[in-house]
Amino acid sequence: MTSQQTTLGEDATTAEELAEGQREISIAEFFEKNKHMLGFDSGARGLVTAVKEAVDNALDATEEAGFRPDIYVEIREVGDYYRLVVEDNGPGITKEQLPKVFGKLLYGSRFHAREQTRGQQGIGISAAVLYSQLTSGKPAKVTSRTQGSADAEYFELIIDTDTNEPEIQAERTTSWDRSHGTRIELEMEANMRARAQLHDYIKHTAVVNPHARIELREPGLDEPLKFERATDQLPAETKEIRPHPHGVELGTLIKMLGATDSYSVSGFMQGEFTRVGKKTADSVIANFRDRHFGRELGWPARNGAPSADVEADIEEALRDAISNKGADATDTFAERVANSLTERERTSYTQLVDIVGTVADEVGTETGKTFGTTVRENAVAAAWAELTQFGTDEEGDEFDRLTPTLHELVDDATSTRKDDAAVHGLAERLAQRFAGDDEPNRMRFTLSELKTLVDEAGDATEEYDDETFGDTARENIVESLWERMVTVPDEPPNVDEIAGDRDTASELLEAMRETDILAPPTDCLAPITEDLVEAGLRKEFDADFYAAATRDAEVHGGDPFVVEAGIAYGGEIEAGGTIQLMRFANRVPLVYQRGACATTNVVKRIGWRNYGLDQPGGSGMPSGPAVLSIHVASTNVPFTSESKDALASVPEIEDEIELAIREAARELKSYLNKRRSMAKRREKQDVLGRILPQMADKVAEVTGREHPNIEGAMARIMNNVGVDRERDGETVRLSVENHSDRGESLEITEIVSAEPGDLPDGVDAIEMDDEWFLNWNPDVDSGETIELEYSLPTDADADATVDGVDDEKLTVNA
């Protein structure tokens, strides 16, 4: 029969012919055809992305050099294209490095650095150059002057997409009015349809970088947009850290093992990872031993039998195992080993080896007899056989030291008390499997091996005794046994051996992840801080209320991160629609893909009604005149794509975002509650203000007495703090009466038109422009009245201003 292969025909393409069409693709060529992945998917967005990449580079460069950023952005229409110019006052770029920085993708100094930076991949600004040359066919024009240089360097360059290398089209030295810095000029197909997003990016950058000065000029603007500094304080300097053991994956670990200069696991752990010292390395190695070698089960010598009988049995077994050492030396050796074993709660095989070795050395020194390796091995075998007797002897008598111990353990580990016969059956079947027929049987098992043995014994018990031991009971038995077992002292394999064996490397990785290790240091991060988050909001938003929160550092995948939140409310912020959400990562605004961002998802799932904001349906974006700012600072921000527009949904980061938001929102809730309370007081006070004067007039008319003190009555009814002035000739009394239910601290300034006299201690008078200012700061407890008395000419005027108490809680008649 003709095979199917022979019927394909002589024109079929061969593997060799297919191979001729295969070649390596450069990263530049890849992104030439996939520029949308970098955020250059349209003329409108491409312009915003190019501005973003250039400004981010400028901010990083200036901060790293210790300069307060002064950044200039200009957009101009040039025929069919737009020209983008971005200048900074950074340290400049050397002549040798400049072409690669702007003309080679994936070229940078930050990719391998574990510290907070805006850019890491070395794609951003070179991608903008690539987009520019693809859409306009024109080179990027770069001018850079390093600090202290007499001239600047000027380059015109494009990216050779076949080789991902810069192609320099012009190069010369030139003069420049900046003493140091960098300027890049790009022409590209673009439009201003994303003007709102561009302005958002610049404004939000100013908010989250309050130490920067930014100026934007663009077509259609009568005046440039200028964003001044709110502080001269630069972000804290960051330090690069080594990887953290909890964030390493298996392939990376194997690579690190192959590259390290360390020979031992301890040296490798301490030399290649952060937060690992000798003690932590020892803990990792102990966990590694458990996985690689297993733990050993220990057994009691007494096990319910009289200690004298057990000790005698062990001594007899040891004497039978030793020959040619003399009666005295043999008896002494046997007695001491047996005594040591009966005094211990339990003994494992390795521990027995140590005991026999120690006693052999002691007795050898005392008696002059040599207890060599063979003697010691025979002694260990004899003593271990006594500790772990299981089975029958030559006469058919049963010897079982294992089952009674396991019976007690199984009985304690099962939450639901089983029938004693069933417990005994499971214990006996476990003993059978532990006894085994290995030589020597050290009863050493890994956790997975131990689980298998327990499952086998449980299945056998169910099959023959019709008694069920469920998953929970089996897990409890395994846990109880594992806790009794001891870590062995065997030396772990060296680094080269582990690197060459994937399974062993996996065991080391599991040991690292299980070990409690301090979180990575946070000096690799530079969060904005609460004060500057609030300062940034105050600088750009005229609001009635501000709050900010900076969380403590947490860890995701071995990378530390910090989340910060800020809220501005009321004032000039627009009240219509949903709140304004500003998302940031490493001080960079995230302008696009808001709906795909983890930050947005967290905001939507919070119940904002609890914090005083409207939220139709109880979920989704809240409504109100508010701005919410969220900043995530990390050594490795998990973006959803190369365009770095949205945060991935990482549970640890989402939890911290929610906690930061709630922390700031609680302050907003207090403010809004207080504001509502004050509004009710004002309403009540307004009503009383209209009614009481009419009542006072009627009372005075009917009784024929003086008009009553309305202000005093108002203060008492409203539970306010009342401030009242009385004058008797030249004597002036200023009294403060606290009708509220809490103590108050007031700041009272009495402004008088003539020099006051007879001032009490602690009250000073300061003259300014023919007026005297008396400063009085009384603390008034609830229900207390305090007076200030001084003298003043009868023709002099006096007026008081009161601070320290809300206007709604204050009644002033002075």
Pairing mode, if any, of strands 545-550 and 559-569? Answer: antiparallel
Is 676 part of any known ligand binding site?
no
CA distance 274 to 279: 13
- Sequence-separated (6 or more) residues with CB below 8 Å from residue 260: 268, 271, 272, 495
CA distance 382 to 405: 20
Please report, for the chain, how many H helices and E strands are present, in that order: 23, 29
Which pair of tokens denotes residue 400?
A: 């079982």
Is 740 part of any known ligand binding site?
no
Is 57 part of any known ligand binding site?
yes
Instruction: From residue 374, give the alpha-carbon distance in Å to each of 367, 490, 526.
Output: 18, 21, 64
CA distance 665 to 564: 12
527-533-538 Cα angle (round to 5): 160
Which pair of tokens denotes residue 229?
A: 């500094």
CA distance 129 to 87: 15
Is 209 part of any known ligand binding site?
no
Q: How far is CA 466 from the centre of its chain?
A: 52
Instruction: From residue 75, give the alpha-carbon distance in Å to each of 137, 197, 245, 814.
Output: 18, 14, 47, 60
Q: How far is CA 306 from the centre of its chain?
A: 59
Instruction: Tell me whether residue 76 is exposed, middle or buried, using C-beta atoms within 10 angstroms of its C-beta: 0 to 12, 13 to 18, 19 or more.
Output: middle
Using an 8 Å Cβ cutoff, are 669 and 610 in contact?
A: yes
Is 122 part of any known ligand binding site?
yes
**Buried (b) or exposed (e) across 187-221, using 16+ Cβ within 10 A?**
bbbbebebbebbebbbbbbbbbbbbbbbbbebeee
Is 480 part of any known ligand binding site?
no
Query: Which residue, among 713, 685, 682, 720, has the nearest Cα to 699 in the 3D structure?
Result: 713
Contacts for 574-580: CB closer than 8 Å, 24+ residues apart: 574/625, 575/624, 575/625, 577/623, 578/621, 578/622, 578/623, 579/613, 579/621, 579/622, 579/623, 579/624, 579/625, 579/626, 579/627, 579/628, 580/626, 580/627, 580/628
Using an 8 Å Cβ cutoff, are 200 and 627 in contact?
A: no
CA distance 447 to 53: 52
Residue by residue, DSSP assigns 196-237 as: HHHHHHHHHHHHH-TT-EEEEE-TT-SS-EEE--S-SPPPPP
Is 125 part of any known ligand binding site?
yes
Query: Which residue, among 262, 289, 266, has the nearest Cα to 279 in the 3D structure?
Result: 266
CA distance 118 to 212: 15
Neighbouring CB atoms inside 10 A of 370's CB total 10
DSSP 807: G
Is 109 part of any known ligand binding site?
yes
Is 247 part of any known ligand binding site?
no
Half-sphere exposure of 187 (CA within 13 A, CB side): 12
Instruction: From residue 559, give the alpha-carbon distance in Å to each of 485, 506, 730.
Output: 35, 21, 73
Is 753 part of any known ligand binding site?
no
Which stretch of DSSP H or E encloses residue 104?
Answer: none
DSSP 639: B
Is 670 part of any known ligand binding site?
no
Entry field: residues in the chain: 814
Pairing mode, if any, of strands 225-227 and 213-217? Answer: antiparallel
Measured torsion, CA atoms of residues 785, 789, 795, 801, in degrees rounded to the nearest 10: -50
Is 270 part of any known ligand binding site?
no
Is 126 part of any known ligand binding site?
yes
Q: How far is CA 791 from the centre of its chain?
A: 63
Using an 8 Å Cβ cutoff, are 582 and 627 in contact?
A: yes
Instruction: Tell me whether residue 595 is exposed, middle or buried, using C-beta atoms within 10 angstroms of its C-beta: 0 to 12, 13 to 18, 19 or more.
Output: exposed
Which stretch of DSSP H or E encloses residue 342?
Answer: helix 327-343
Q: Which segments are annotated as binding site for ATP?
A: 57, 88, 109-110, 119-126, 644
Q: Which segments are annotated as binding site?
A: 57, 88, 109-110, 119-126, 644
